[in-house]
Amino acid sequence: MRYHSKILTTAAMLLASASMVQAERMTVVSFGGAYGAAQNEHMIQPFVEATGHEILFEDYSGGIAEISAQVQAGNIQWDVVDIEVIDLERACSEGLLEVIDHSQLPAGVDGTDAADDFIPDALASECGVGVIVWSIVYAYNTENDGPAPQTIADFFDTETFPGPRAMRRRPQVNLEWALIADGVPAEEVYEVLATEEGQERAFASLDRIREDIVWFDSWSQAPQLLNDGGAAMVQSANGRIFSAIQDDGRPFEIVWDNHVYDLDVWAIVAGSDNVDTAMEFINFATGSEPLAGMADVAYGATRLSSAPFVDPAVNSNLPTAHLDTGLKADGIFWADYGESLGERFNEWLLNE
């Protein structure tokens, strides 16, 4: 008995020291705000507690520029990054991300194999593992006077619905909406946007409301702008508005017409020093339960086995409940055109 307990203590001490040696410090980067808080609660903190690794949890405002700068200059600061699928293809094809072996992802809590448990889009890219299904919508303050906007065309109609519009400062989604507002059917948007005339048309459509646009960089600013009156309508990730309504009791309303839905994935920056720990984190964070936690901010889980952990009351607020009025973001299109349209968009912004 005494002998056994001695072995046990020794083993425990060895284990403890081993885990201390292995404790790594790595940087995980995501979008902050309500979404970041949910990730912190359901993914970061539980992972830190379970493994003893240390995580610096940073915010960024999306896009591939910062990752690209780190890889080009050869000093990698970030390990794991939450990236929108609309940017993922481009980052992946430029070699900015590590390739992830999807076969080693753990099975769901109900025992379903990862390959069958994840929705197909979540594992579509070899560079990422899906975290959420989310949507870019627009929202307005119900306390404002005047008629309630209902469509994307209304968002672009500043005569009937006066007031500043807040939009994220990048071409993605804005150009899609500009075409839809100009009468292009949603299913033809990317086809039209691939042509020179289509691009002209999209920018001309944006031009019509440019005086009324307030630009922001980070999704966190969207609910703030709506709240402090900086904008009458804001483009936003649906979860930010949801949490402003739900948690802060704000009088906001989401418009689901032609929302652009997309996935976010966890990816590993190419050349990271902590690839193994990063993979360990991704395996942990894309487990059934942590994923279900994203429903706190009305983002859909990417594993089917997460469903039992999600409060059914949230379901009607998830993007998946509105797929019939939505447009799927085309990551391949933006991989090809992100560069050209990005430059053109910036020039358009600078042109007075």
Partner 1 sequence: MMKHLPAYYTIWHILGYYGLRLTAYLVLGFLMLPILIIVPLSFNVEPYFSFTQGMLRLDPDAYSLRWYEAIFTDQRWTLSIRNSFFVGALAAILATVLGTIAAVGLSSPVMPAKRLITALLLSPMIVPLIIIAAGMFFFYTGFGLVGSFTGLVMAHAVLGVPFVIITVTATLTGFDRSLFHAGVSMGASPLKVFWDVVIPLIRPGVISGGLFAFVTSFDEVVVVLFLAGPEQRTIPRQMFSGLREQINPTILAVATLLIVISVALLVTLEILRRRSERLRGEAF
Partner 2 sequence: MENSLSREDGRNARRELNRRRIAAFALVIPLLVFIFFAFVAPIATILYRSVYNPVVSDLIPETLAALDAAEWDRADVPPDDVLNVFSAELSLLAQERLSGRLAEEINRAIPGMSSVVRSTSRAVRRMEQDTLLSEGGQTLLDANDRWGDVAVWRALQDAGAPYTEDYYLTALDLQRAEDGGIEARDGARIYVTLYTKTLRIALIITILTLILGYPLAYFLANAPSKSANMLMVFVLLPFWTSLLVRTTAWIALLQTNGVVNSFLMSIGVINEPMEILYTQTATILAMTHILLPFMILPLYSVMKGIDPSYLRAAMSMGGRPIPAFVRIYLPMTLPGLSAGALLVFIISVGYYITPALVGGTDGQMISNIIAFHMRESNNWELAAALGSLLLAIILLLYWVYDRFVGAGNIKLG
Please give the residue ranges that form the binding site for partner 1 (CB under 8 A). Answer: 25, 27, 32-33, 56, 58-59, 61, 73-75, 77-78, 217-218, 220-221, 224, 228
∠ at Cα 119 (117, 121), nearest 5°? 145
**Residue 75 binds which of partner 1, partner 2, none (CB < 5-8 A, kind-dependent):** partner 1
Q: Given the structure tokens 């906001």, which residue do they identify?
A: 252
Half-sphere exposure at residue 38, Cβ-oriented, CA atoms within 13 angstroms: 24
> Which region holds residue 216: left if phi is over 0, alpha if psi is between -120 and 50, else beta?
beta
Q: Whose Cβ is closer to partner 1: residue 16's or residue 69's?
A: 69
Binding mask 109-138 for partner 2 (x = CB under 8 A): ------------------------------
Residue 154's contacts (CB-CB under 8 Å, 6 or more residues apart) are 160, 161, 255
Burial 2-14 (b: 16+ CB within 10 A, else e): eeeeeeeeeeeee
Site membership for partner 2, residue 59 (CB under 8 A): no
The full DSSP string for 257-272 is: EEEEEEEEEEEEBTT-
Q: Whose Cβ is closer to partner 2: residue 90's or residue 259's?
A: 90
Q: Whose Cβ is closer to partner 2: residue 11's or residue 65's?
A: 65
Residue 124 to residue 81: CA distance in whole angstroms: 17
Shortest distance, position 135 Cβ to partner 1, whole Å: 21
Q: Whose Cβ is closer to partner 1: residue 58's or residue 289's?
A: 58
Cα→Cα distances 260→7, 232, 247, 255, 322, Å: 59, 20, 24, 11, 10
Long-range contacts of 321-326 (CB under 8 A, 24+ apart): 322/135, 322/256, 322/259, 322/261, 323/261, 325/256, 325/257, 325/258, 325/259, 326/135, 326/256, 326/258, 326/259, 326/260, 326/261
**Residue 78 binds which of partner 2, partner 1, none (CB < 5-8 A, kind-dependent):** partner 1
Q: Whose Cβ is closer to partner 2: residue 164's or residue 290's?
A: 164
**Residue 336 binds which of partner 1, partner 2, none (CB < 5-8 A, kind-dependent):** partner 2
Shortest distance, position 349 Cβ to partner 1, whole Å: 17
Among 90, 165, 201, 303, binds partner 2 (CB under 8 A): 90
Cα→Cα distances 253→242, 249, 304, 349, Å: 9, 11, 28, 29
Site membership for partner 2, residue 94 (CB under 8 A): yes
Shortest distance, position 227 Cβ to partner 2, whole Å: 8
Q: Whose Cβ is closer to partner 2: residue 102's or residue 344's?
A: 344
- Which window, 18-26, 32-40, 179-187, 224-232, contacts partner 2 (CB under 8 A)? 224-232
Q: Whose Cβ is closer to partner 2: residue 189's or residue 292's?
A: 189
Q: Please give the DSSP secondary-structure letter assigned to residue 40.
A: I
Binding mask 297-336 for partner 2 (x = CB under 8 A): --------------------------------------xx
The residue ranges that bind partner 2 (CB under 8 A) are 63, 65-66, 68-69, 72, 90, 92-95, 164, 194, 196, 214-215, 228-230, 335-340, 342-344, 346-347, 349-352
